[in-house]
Amino acid sequence: MEEEFKHMVRIARKDINGNKAIENALTDIKGVGKGLSKAISIVIGYDPNKKIGYLSDDELIKLEEAVKNPKKYNIPDWMLNRQNDYETGETLHFIESDLTMCLRDDLNRMKKTRSYKGRRHEVGLPVRGQRTKSTFRKGQSVGVRRRRRG
Protein backbone atom coordinates (compact mmCIF):
# COMPACT_ATOMS: atom_id res chain seq x y z
CA MET A 1 0.00 0.00 0.00
CA GLU A 2 1.59 3.26 -1.15
CA GLU A 3 1.24 6.38 0.94
CA GLU A 4 -0.93 9.09 -0.56
CA PHE A 5 0.64 12.55 -0.70
CA LYS A 6 -1.53 15.59 0.08
CA HIS A 7 -0.36 18.89 -1.42
CA MET A 8 -2.46 20.94 1.02
CA VAL A 9 -3.19 19.94 4.59
CA ARG A 10 -5.76 21.67 6.80
CA ILE A 11 -4.87 21.96 10.48
CA ALA A 12 -6.63 24.30 12.91
CA ARG A 13 -8.53 26.20 10.17
CA LYS A 14 -5.26 26.88 8.33
CA ASP A 15 -4.13 25.51 4.95
CA ILE A 16 -0.55 24.27 5.09
CA ASN A 17 1.75 23.31 2.23
CA GLY A 18 2.21 19.51 2.18
CA ASN A 19 5.84 19.77 1.02
CA LYS A 20 6.99 21.29 4.33
CA ALA A 21 8.49 19.28 7.16
CA ILE A 22 6.20 18.87 10.19
CA GLU A 23 8.42 21.13 12.29
CA ASN A 24 8.26 23.99 9.76
CA ALA A 25 4.66 23.39 8.67
CA LEU A 26 3.22 23.85 12.17
CA THR A 27 4.90 27.25 12.48
CA ASP A 28 2.49 28.53 9.79
CA ILE A 29 -0.22 28.39 12.46
CA LYS A 30 -0.37 31.64 14.43
CA GLY A 31 0.59 30.94 18.04
CA VAL A 32 2.85 27.97 17.28
CA GLY A 33 6.57 28.65 17.11
CA LYS A 34 9.56 26.56 16.14
CA GLY A 35 10.18 25.17 19.62
CA LEU A 36 6.57 24.21 20.29
CA SER A 37 6.18 22.59 16.87
CA LYS A 38 9.26 20.45 17.41
CA ALA A 39 8.12 19.50 20.92
CA ILE A 40 4.66 18.49 19.66
CA SER A 41 6.06 16.33 16.87
CA ILE A 42 8.47 14.57 19.23
CA VAL A 43 5.88 14.00 21.98
CA ILE A 44 3.44 12.49 19.49
CA GLY A 45 6.19 10.31 18.05
CA TYR A 46 6.51 11.73 14.53
CA ASP A 47 9.79 12.57 12.84
CA PRO A 48 9.98 16.41 12.77
CA ASN A 49 11.70 16.27 9.36
CA LYS A 50 9.01 14.13 7.69
CA LYS A 51 6.87 15.98 5.15
CA ILE A 52 3.42 16.76 6.52
CA GLY A 53 1.76 15.74 3.24
CA TYR A 54 2.60 12.07 3.87
CA LEU A 55 0.69 11.87 7.18
CA SER A 56 -2.56 9.90 7.16
CA ASP A 57 -5.89 11.44 8.17
CA ASP A 58 -5.74 9.83 11.63
CA GLU A 59 -2.23 11.18 12.20
CA LEU A 60 -3.35 14.65 11.12
CA ILE A 61 -6.27 14.54 13.56
CA LYS A 62 -3.88 13.57 16.36
CA LEU A 63 -1.51 16.39 15.34
CA GLU A 64 -4.34 18.94 15.28
CA GLU A 65 -5.50 17.83 18.74
CA ALA A 66 -1.96 18.29 20.06
CA VAL A 67 -1.74 21.79 18.56
CA LYS A 68 -5.10 22.80 20.04
CA ASN A 69 -4.47 21.30 23.47
CA PRO A 70 -0.73 20.79 24.15
CA LYS A 71 -1.20 20.41 27.94
CA LYS A 72 -2.93 17.09 27.29
CA TYR A 73 0.33 15.81 25.77
CA ASN A 74 2.50 16.94 28.72
CA ILE A 75 4.07 19.91 26.94
CA PRO A 76 5.68 22.05 29.70
CA ASP A 77 3.81 25.18 30.81
CA TRP A 78 6.65 27.51 29.86
CA MET A 79 6.13 26.63 26.19
CA LEU A 80 2.50 27.76 26.20
CA ASN A 81 1.57 31.31 25.25
CA ARG A 82 -0.95 32.21 27.97
CA GLN A 83 0.43 31.58 31.45
CA ASN A 84 -1.72 32.61 34.42
CA ASP A 85 -4.62 33.89 32.34
CA TYR A 86 -6.10 37.15 33.63
CA GLU A 87 -9.66 35.84 34.01
CA THR A 88 -9.15 32.20 35.00
CA GLY A 89 -5.59 32.07 36.36
CA GLU A 90 -4.91 28.90 34.35
CA THR A 91 -2.13 28.25 31.88
CA LEU A 92 -3.65 28.03 28.41
CA HIS A 93 -2.50 27.97 24.80
CA PHE A 94 -4.33 29.97 22.12
CA ILE A 95 -3.95 29.72 18.35
CA GLU A 96 -5.15 31.72 15.33
CA SER A 97 -8.23 33.93 15.93
CA ASP A 98 -8.48 33.06 19.64
CA LEU A 99 -4.98 34.44 20.16
CA THR A 100 -5.78 37.62 18.23
CA MET A 101 -8.96 38.18 20.26
CA CYS A 102 -7.14 37.54 23.53
CA LEU A 103 -4.40 40.06 22.73
CA ARG A 104 -6.98 42.65 21.63
CA ASP A 105 -8.90 42.15 24.90
CA ASP A 106 -5.68 42.61 26.90
CA LEU A 107 -4.93 45.87 25.08
CA ASN A 108 -8.47 47.15 25.60
CA ARG A 109 -8.29 46.28 29.32
CA MET A 110 -5.01 48.19 29.66
CA LYS A 111 -6.50 51.20 27.85
CA LYS A 112 -9.65 51.08 29.98
CA THR A 113 -7.74 50.98 33.26
CA ARG A 114 -5.50 53.80 31.98
CA SER A 115 -2.33 51.90 32.82
CA TYR A 116 1.02 53.20 31.59
CA LYS A 117 1.20 50.60 28.85
CA GLY A 118 -2.40 51.28 27.84
CA ARG A 119 -1.80 55.01 27.53
CA ARG A 120 1.36 54.45 25.45
CA HIS A 121 -0.61 52.13 23.14
CA GLU A 122 -3.36 54.73 22.73
CA VAL A 123 -0.94 57.47 21.68
CA GLY A 124 1.16 55.18 19.47
CA LEU A 125 4.39 55.55 21.42
CA PRO A 126 6.76 52.72 22.36
CA VAL A 127 5.54 50.74 25.33
CA ARG A 128 8.66 49.03 26.65
CA GLY A 129 10.97 51.90 27.50
CA GLN A 130 12.72 52.50 24.20
CA ARG A 131 14.16 55.92 23.50
CA THR A 132 12.02 58.30 21.47
CA LYS A 133 14.44 61.11 20.61
CA SER A 134 15.38 59.73 17.22
CA THR A 135 13.01 56.81 16.56
CA PHE A 136 9.22 56.33 16.36
CA ARG A 137 8.83 59.55 14.36
CA LYS A 138 6.23 58.17 11.90
CA GLY A 139 7.30 60.14 8.85
CA GLN A 140 8.46 63.41 10.34
CA SER A 141 12.13 64.15 10.60
CA VAL A 142 13.54 66.73 12.96
CA GLY A 143 16.69 68.58 12.01
CA VAL A 144 18.42 71.89 12.23
CA ARG A 145 17.50 74.45 9.60
CA ARG A 146 20.26 76.70 8.32
CA ARG A 147 19.75 80.38 7.86
CA ARG A 148 19.86 81.51 4.25
CA ARG A 149 22.71 83.78 3.34
CA GLY A 150 21.72 86.46 1.06
d(CA 110, CA 120): 10
Average of per-residue pLDDT across 8-24? 92
pLDDT of residue 76: 93
Is 32 a residue whose pLDDT tops 90?
yes
pTM of the model: 0.78
In this structure, which amino acid lies at residue 47? D
* CATH architecture of residue range(s) 8-79: Orthogonal Bundle (1.10)
The pLDDT tens digits for 93-144 are 999 999 999 999 999 999 999 999 999 999 999 999 999 888 888 777 777 7
pLDDT band with cut points at 50, 70 and 90 for residue 4? confident
Residues, the chain, total? 150
The pLDDT tens digits for 39-95 are 999 999 999 999 999 999 999 999 999 999 999 999 999 999 999 988 889 999 999
d(CA 115, CA 111): 7
Average pLDDT of the chain to the nearest whole number: 90
d(CA 150, CA 133): 33
pLDDT band with cut points at 50, 70 and 90 for residue 2? low
Which is it for strands 8-11 and 14-17: parallel, antiparallel or unpaired? antiparallel
pLDDT band with cut points at 50, 70 and 90 for residue 1? very low
d(CA 109, CA 90): 18
Domain borders along the chain are 8-79
